[in-house]
Amino acid sequence: MKIAGVLSGTSLDGIDVAVCDVIAHGDGVRARCERFATVPFEPELRRRIVAAYPPTPLDALELSSLHAAVGAAFGDAVRAVAGEVALDAVASHGLTLAHDGTAHHTLQIGDAFRIRERVGTTVLYDFRSADTAAGGTGAPLVPFVDALLFGEHAPCVALNLGGIANMTVLPEGIAFDTGPANLPIDTYVARRSGGVQRYDADGLLARAGTVDMRLLTRMLDDPYFRRFPPKTAGREEYGAPYVERWAEELDARPFADAVATLTALTARSVADAFWTFAPRCEL
């Protein structure tokens, strides 16, 4: 079967589309990626998405309009990447606008029916709600793919560094969000550069800077890091409000040092999470 997967993560880098050939293999499936591309958001649509994130109050009409616009953008992206490939289905995660794993609710926007109208095939969507309704955290999702791709290589750990970091420990099946990845770095870089830079391209700032160990130690004293899995994180924990909380101290340091410290926060929190929550796993 030819299936296209489409999503946009917390970093809002763009709309990721993968066209895969999926075949049955034993009790599971194998997938071979045939096409992949990241389609940029139109600047105005990206601005509206950013403006809609919590804790900003959001008008219901704007939410409805965004839901439609994101669905249309996803559909156009799939059609552009798939080209002449006859798709059997599209799997759309949508775009997470709000998520609270501890309260067991989540909201993804991106009208699946607008995708269907543009692509002309079955669309599978809303992957998190069944889990949250049953008392789960609804995230992370990528461990299912990790098990599919890397299960035969176990024992191993798969690490996904998007806006948020998550790890999957195989074959134990331990999977959770470890905390921040690129999200606070991107947010701070955009803030301090006045929007001229949206991220630390090629890690140049972090590599040029020096980690402030005292500040890093305080940032690592975060209640989230001490919570036991299952647990999830998102913009609510490590987005703009988090950066604002540390902004005065970060701004008091050279730009490169501040970014180096935020980058070290990601690295240390990932390493600490492994040794704290999966210490008996043999790799």
Residue span of the structural domain in which 82 resides:
2-138
Domain CATH for 17: 3.30.420.40
Q: What pLDDT was estimated at residue 279?
A: 67
For the chain, the domain total comes to 2
Query: Between 269 and 275, where is the model more confident?
Result: 269
Q: What pLDDT was estimated at residue 68?
A: 98
Answer whether residue 28 shows pLDDT above 80.
no
The string of pLDDT tens digits covering residues 243-261 is 999 999 999 999 999 999 9
- Dump the DSSP string for 112-149: HHHHHHHH-SEEEE--SHHHHHTT------HHHHHHHH
Evaluate whether residue 283 is within a structural domain: no
The string of pLDDT tens digits covering residues 207-216 is 999 999 999 9
Give Cα separations from 66 to 11, 74, 122, 258 (angstroms): 18, 12, 22, 34
Give this prediction's pTM.
0.86
Same domain, 23 and 125: yes
Same domain, 227 and 268: yes
Same domain, 107 and 174: no
The string of pLDDT tens digits covering residues 119-164 is 999 999 999 999 999 999 998 988 988 988 888 888 889 999 999 9
Evaluate whether residue 189 is within a structural domain: yes
Pinpoint the alpha helices (H) of 20-155.
Answer: 43-52, 60-82, 112-119, 129-133, 142-150
